[in-house]
Structure 1
Amino acid sequence: LLGNASIIIPAPYALFVFMLGALLDLADLPLLAFVSGLGAAIGELTGYVLGAAWRKALDEEKKRKLEKARKLLEKPAFPLIILMAATPLPDDVISLPLGLMRYPLWKAFPAFLIGKVALCLLLAYSGKLAFTTILVAFEGGGIWAMVGTAVAMVVIAVLLVLMDWDIMLEVIEQRGWRGLLSPSFMKRILLSTGRKFRRKEKEGKKEGEEAQETAEAGEERKESEEERPEEGQ
């Protein structure tokens, strides 16, 4: 619920569902998916209510996404809501305009529920599959096979996080799902992912430099304060 109720500060609920899926018994995964999906769907109501209230404090980026969502909602809204809820695409771009447009809540909530339960079901079973795969790799190929599997999983997860979903959404709008198989789409995604990775790297380096400067300034201030009593004596 908190993972989807938070609009400005994201909460990684998907990671918890993934981890619980790895730890729980296979028979418990449908219940985990339903409970998690229900909480996530309820959390989506925050965006819906915010859209209905139409707070003017939205930034230009959010307004741009709202306009994009308005165009998307010209098509049948119910399956679109399910699609957005069942993918890693940002849900705010659909829940906010639904409130703005006063789309019936009795239609929107079931669609959110279906999509979120489907997503959580996929996450739970993926966690179980990943855990089982690591165990099998460890038993069959030793520690190096396990390390290779873990590295591959981390790489895939990083790519999913860095992928520009706005580009994917734009291609689907213009060319349909077949557009995702085109070389031009793959090129755009790779270039965008590379730019995001470099930007993240620069931001991390900048934060490290700022932290170092702050620490040095603190040490200088401390030394200055220690020198003052000596001068007074």
Structure 2
Amino acid sequence: METFGDILELLKPLEASFLGPFIISLVCNSIPFVSLPYLLVIIGLAFKYVTLQDRILLILSSALGATLGKVLIYFIGKGFSKLLSQRSRKNLELFNKIAKKSLALAIFVFAALPLPDDVLYLPLGLTGFSLIIYFLSVFLGKLFLKSVAVFYGSLLTSLSEELGYQVIPVFVVISIVFSYYIISIDWSKIVEVHMEGGLKASVRCLMLELGLANKKIAKNLKNLFT
């Protein structure tokens, strides 16, 4: 974490030109299976950038940086494909053709949520999945994620100015609850259901997962107060 703090210090002079959020998003998304809390930086920068134009540029620069980081992950997977046998490569290419449409949605979902997406993205490089579809799906997902982060930071800024900074603990609790839901839901199961049964089946699966998460929360609260 000290290294992450050092990166932030180095990028401070670049914040005004939006290179800071671009580079930190690029770096934090190009390290396989390593999760760095860079979204907190994007939320924090929403305090600084107060105009609509600046916030749009913040969203675009960080989304593009994150997407290019995931493109690097794709090429890491593609590099490993050379180590596969011809038979294994043909099987992966067949899977790629069968699941092409479903995978585009899965890529978007994993990019739009703070999930361990490298589990999905590395194999896509192995299969030779379309780089254009991959790039667009990741970019749209990251665009959504960064928009939510900046909106969250902007809302927190506005409420802090109107109601005072005592509102911050409320947002911390909301963030914890939201994070709990994200972690509790079996997203890989939802993607698998979508690939087999389509959108309606995946929505039903999501509702079931949310129900299970609610039961876990209720059980934990009951244990806490008894």
TM-score by length of 2: 0.64
**Which runs of 5 or more structure 1 residues have no equivalent in the other structure?**
56-69, 139-145, 196-233
8 Å CA contact 1:2, 1:11 repeated in 2 = no
Q: 2:148 aligns with which of 115, 122, 130?
A: 122
Give me the identity figure in percent. Answer: 26
Alignment of 1:137-156 (within 5 A): 137-138=163-164, 146-147=165-166, 149-156=167-174
Q: Name the SS of the counterpart of 1:170 in structure 2.
A: helix
Pairing of 1:30-109 with structure 2 (within 5 A): 30-54=56-80, 74=99, 76=101, 77-109=103-135
Q: CA deviation at 1:85?
A: 1.1
* SS of residue paired to 1:176: helix
* 2:158 alignment partner AA: T
Deviations 1:114-169 (CA, angstroms, capped at 9, x unpaired)? 2212211221121111111122112xxxxxxx42x222211222233344255244
Counterpart of 2:189 in structure 1 is: 170
| Partners of 2:46 and 2:125 in 1: CA distance | 33
How far is 1:4 from its partner?
Answer: 0.6
Distance 1:189 1:124, change over 3 A: same
- Aligned to 1:6, the other structure's residue is in SS state coil
Task: Evaluate the alpha carbon distance shift between residue 49 and residue 153 of structure 1 in structure 2; reply closer, same or farther with a 3 A threshold.
Answer: same
Paired residues of 2:33 and 2:116 also in contact (CA < 8 A): no
Contact 1:22 1:129 in 2 (8 A): no
Match of 2:40 among 9, 15, 18: 15
Q: What is the total number of aligned residue pairs between the two structures?
A: 172
Against the structure 1 CA distance between its residues 165 and 98, is the aligned structure 2 distance closer, same or farther, given a 3 Å change threshold? farther
1:188 deviates by 4.1
CA distances 1:30-49 after superposition (whole Å, capped 9, x unpaired): 11111100100010023212
